[in-house]
Structures are given as structure tokens and as C-alpha cells.
């Protein structure tokens, strides 16, 4: 076939198309030109016998021709015609996606990390499955301590357990790094508790640790946590207080109360009229802990603290029952958006 013959066939088909006024005639044309044994597939098949330099011209004409026929014959042979009119209907209602909300637990952990980042603390992670050394021994917990009893700790083997606190990350971090270290660790912890309004066998803590090669005192701990309390709980929480306590891995040890963020310390229902809310355990790192991680207790100083994430979330957002944090009740979660 020559180029002239091709063009002649093309024009002939357009005349036939103009003459085909009913569907049956148009279907005949579709079969004649576009069908499996139609003219266009035959022409394309013949391309390989054409001289190389003629192929582009043939290809171009045949391609356009096919498009003309296809759009003119759309709707025949069972092929649905494209609907007339604009493809986009602006009067239809939009598809609405309900925005999700972050769990209060994630919020508290992320906000806390952001606040401590401003003080130069980085976030350190640790595994939920710990060994006895990191969770107890190196934290100066004596072998007879009741917290190691199977009625309190979820043991997996003689040596492995689900960590009962985030404090083992102190050990991991100091063992792997020279001082100074300045870290916080938000994470899951586990205790053999029965669930009620304020207890859950799986809960979350945020550990903090600052150890330096220059003196660090309780005053540093107090100023650090005062800043955190104010940033986290809002402008009415202006102070914290220490009460003497005991932890095996800190000396001295304290319990930390935040000034009530609801009444500003005057006394209200939230703080049970005391003006203070218990939030954290803390203290100066015990010299024995430094020995376990290979630090010289004469040359380093530091403080550590640990806080319950659920507890902070509950007082901050006024959540009366810890179970609400785990039940994924949509009417509760929607309020967090």
C-alpha cells in the first residue's frame, strides 16, 4: 500500500461514516475498520513490510484515523458513550473524612519530650523485655526486695521480665555513654496489678536522667521539674515541692508534688483540698548505681526522676478513670480532637 492509497481509504471511511445514520450501520463500520479482522489492524500488521522511511508517516495517519473512528463510533458494539457535559459536578456533596485524634498518652509523651528538648534532653529508648540486672540489680535493688516477687513483676524466665519501670534505661544509657548524659525515656511499663480506676497492669512512664562531671544538686532537679510542671500543666502551676521518700537507686530520694494546676494551690476537688498533686519520684543518683555502670562516684553528679504518663494525662485533662485511656471509646476519643 502506498501513502496515497492509505489516504484514499481514510477519506472513503469518513464518507461511509457520514452516511451511517443508524446504530446498525455504525456497528458495521466499527467491525469493518476497527474489528479484529478489520482494515486498521491489517494495515498496522503490514507496517513491517513498508520501507523504513515511510513508516512514521503511515503510523501517524493510521493513529489519527483510529482515534477519529473510535470517537465517532463510541456507543456502538456495547461500548458505553462518554456522558455528555462536564465530568466534575461541583454540586455534589464532598467526601468527608473524620479527623483522628491523638491518644492522651501519646500527647503527654510527645509534649514532655518537646519541653525537655528545650533543656537539652534527648529521647532514649529501651526494650519492654528487660533482664534482672538492668531492671533491679544495677538499680541497687537488694535480692530480697518485694518488687522482685512474682506477685509484683511479670517474669518471662529466671532472668527476663517485662520492665516494671523505665529506670533500666538509665543503666543502658550510662553503660553505653560517658557523662554528661541528659535523657528522657517515655515508654511502656508492666506490673502485676489488677485493673481498677487508677491501676493498669500495662502503663507508661517517663524517665529522666541528668549526669554530669560537675556538681549537680537537688536544686538543679527542683528547677528542672519546676520548669517542666509549669510548661506542662499551665500558668496556675507555678511551683513543685519535694517530700522525703525512698528509692533504692537514688539518695536522697523524694516524691514530687506539682502545685494544683486547677486552683493554683488554694485547694479544690482535683487536689483533694491540699493544693498539691503527687506526680513523680526522683532523687540524686545513688553512688552504687554509678559503680554498676562503670562511672567513678567521686567524679560524677546527677539526678533522676520518673513520672507516670497516665497520671499526668488524667490530671491534665480531667480524666477520672484510667480505663478510659485504653478502651478506644469513640465518644471519649472525639473529645481529644
In angstroms, the CA 133 to CA 293 distance is 11
Sole binder of ligand PHE in the list 306, 313, 314, 315 (CB under 6 A): 306
- 107-166 residues near ligand PHE, rule: CB under 6 A: 165
Using CB under 6 A as the binding rule, the residues of this chain from 69 to 88 that contact ligand PHE are none
Q: Is 265 in the site for ligand PHE (CB under 6 A)?
A: no
Rounded CA gap, 305 and 293, in Å? 18
Q: Which stretch binds ligand PHE (CB under 6 A): 36-44, 127-135, 219-227, 304-312?
A: 304-312
Least distance from C-beta 333 to ligand PHE, angstroms?
A: 28
Q: Does 33 bind ligand PHE (CB under 6 A)?
A: no
Question: What crossing angle do the helices spanning 3-19 and 23-34 adopt, rounded to 10°?
Answer: 160
What are the φ and ψ backbone dihedral angles of 247, each rounded to 5 degrees? -135, 145
Task: Please choose, out of 80-88, 121-129, 234-242, 302-310, the segment that lies near ligand PHE by the rule CB under 6 A.
Answer: 302-310
Q: In the set 247, 290, 292, 301, which binds ligand PHE (CB under 6 A)?
A: 247
CB neighbours (10 Å) of residue 270? 14
- Between helix 104-117 and helix 309-317 the angle, nearest 10°, is 100
User: Is there binding between residue 187 and ligand PHE (CB under 6 A)?
Assistant: no
- Cβ of residue 270: shortest distance to ligand PHE, in angstroms? 22
Under a CB-based contact definition with an 8 Å cutoff, are residues 238 and 264 in contact? yes
Give the number of other Cβ atoms within 10 Å of residue 321's Cβ.
Answer: 12
DSSP string, 42-75: HHHHHGGGS-GGGHHHHHHHHHHHHHHHHHHHTT
Placement of cell 554509678 in the chain: 290
Check binding of 250 to ligand PHE (CB under 6 A). yes
Least Å distance, CB 90 to ligand PHE, is: 58
Element (H, E) at 331: helix 330-333
If binding is defined by CB under 6 A, does position 168 make contact with ligand PHE?
no
281 binds ligand PHE (CB under 6 A): yes
- Closest contact distance (angstroms) between CB of 94 and ligand PHE is 49
Tell whether residue 184 is a contact of ligand PHE (CB under 6 A). no
Cell numbers at residue 44, please? Answer: 498496522
Q: Does residue 225 interact with ligand PHE by CB under 6 A?
A: no
Residues of this chain that interact with ligand PHE (CB under 6 A) are 165, 167, 207, 247, 250, 281-283, 304-306
Amino acid at each position: 500500500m502506498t501513502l496515497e492509497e492509505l489516504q484514499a481509504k481514510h477519506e472513503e471511511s469518513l464518507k461511509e461514516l457520514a452516511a451511517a445514520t443508524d446504530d446498525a450501520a455504525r456497528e458495521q463500520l466499527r467491525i469493518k475498520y476497527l474489528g479484529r479482522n478489520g482494515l486498521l489492524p491489517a494495515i498496522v500488521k503490514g507496517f513491517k513490510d513498508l520501507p523504513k522511511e515511510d513508516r512514521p508517516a503511515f503510523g501517524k495517519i493510521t493513529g489519527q484515523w483510529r482515534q477519529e473512528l473510535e470517537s465517532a463510533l463510541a456507543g456502538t458494539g456495547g461500548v458505553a458513550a462518554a456522558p455528555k457535559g462536564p465530568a466534575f459536578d461541583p454540586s455534589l456533596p464532598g467526601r468527608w473524612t473524620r479527623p483522628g485524634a491523638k491518644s492522651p498518652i501519646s500527647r503527654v509523651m510527645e509534649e514532655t519530650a518537646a519541653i525537655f528538648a528545650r533543656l537539652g534532653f534527648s529521647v532514649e529508648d529501651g526494650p519492654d523485655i528487660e533482664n534482672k540486672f538492668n531492671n533491679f540489680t544495677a538499680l541497687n535493688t537488694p535480692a530480697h526486695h518485694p518488687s522482685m516477687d512474682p506477685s509484683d513483676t511479670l517474669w518471662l524466665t529466671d532472668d527476663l521480665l517485662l520492665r516494671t519501670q523505665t529506670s533500666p534505661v538509665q543503666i543502658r544509657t550510662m553503660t553505653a555513654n560517658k557523662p554528661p548524659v541528659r535523657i528522657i525515656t517515655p515508654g511502656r511499663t508492666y506490673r502485676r496489678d489488677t485493673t481498677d480506676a487508677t491501676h493498669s497492669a500495662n502503663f507508661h512512664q517517663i524517665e529522666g536522667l541528668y549526669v554530669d562531671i560537675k556538681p549537680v544538686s537537688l536544686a538543679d532537679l527542683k528547677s528542672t521539674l519546676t520548669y517542666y510542671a509549669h510548661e506542662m500543666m499551665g500558668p496556675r502551676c507555678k511551683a513543685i515541692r519535694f517530700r522525703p521518700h525512698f528509692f533504692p537507686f537514688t539518695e536522697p530520694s523524694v516524691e514530687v508534688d506539682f502545685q494544683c494546676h486547677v486552683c493554683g494551690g488554694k485547694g479544690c476537688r482535683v487536689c483533694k483540698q491540699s493544693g498539691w498533686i503527687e506526680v513523680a519520684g526522683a532523687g540524686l543518683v545513688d553512688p552504687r548505681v554509678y559503680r554498676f555502670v562503670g562511672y567513678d562516684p567521686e567524679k560524677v553528679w546527677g539526678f533522676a526522676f520518673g513520672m507516670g504518663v497516665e497520671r499526668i494525662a488524667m490530671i491534665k485533662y480531667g480524666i477520672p478513670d484510667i480505663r478510659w485511656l485504653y478502651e478506644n471509646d469513640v465518644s471519649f476519643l472525639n473529645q481529644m480532637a
